[in-house]
Amino acid sequence: MSAVIWGGAVMTLIGVGGLIFCVILAMRAKREGLSGPAMQARLQRVVTWNLGALAVSALGLMMVIVGIVLS
């Protein structure tokens, strides 16, 4: 079960890294001063990455909890 816990921890860290990456992408888009439709298109892509990173992080946390419960 130790492998499940550590694997989940790694997945959680990857997800958190993805969330930080999304913040950086959104800040870059804001600094570029894009117009309305261009900004909206850019932020829609950021939201997609954000949801994926959040899902990876949540699955990692679930793996950690399952590993702790089963050990």
Q: What is the pLDDT of residues 42-66, one digit of tens each?
A: 999 999 999 999 999 999 999 999 9
pLDDT class of 36 with cuts at 50, 70, 90: confident
Domain that holds residue 33: 2-70
Whole-prediction pTM value? 0.85
| C-alpha to C-alpha distance for 9 and 4, rounded to whole angstroms | 8
Give the number of domains in the chain: 1
Query: For the CA atoms of 47, 51, 56, 61, what is the dihedral angle to 10 degrees?
Result: 120
Q: What's the mean pLDDT in 25-34?
A: 90
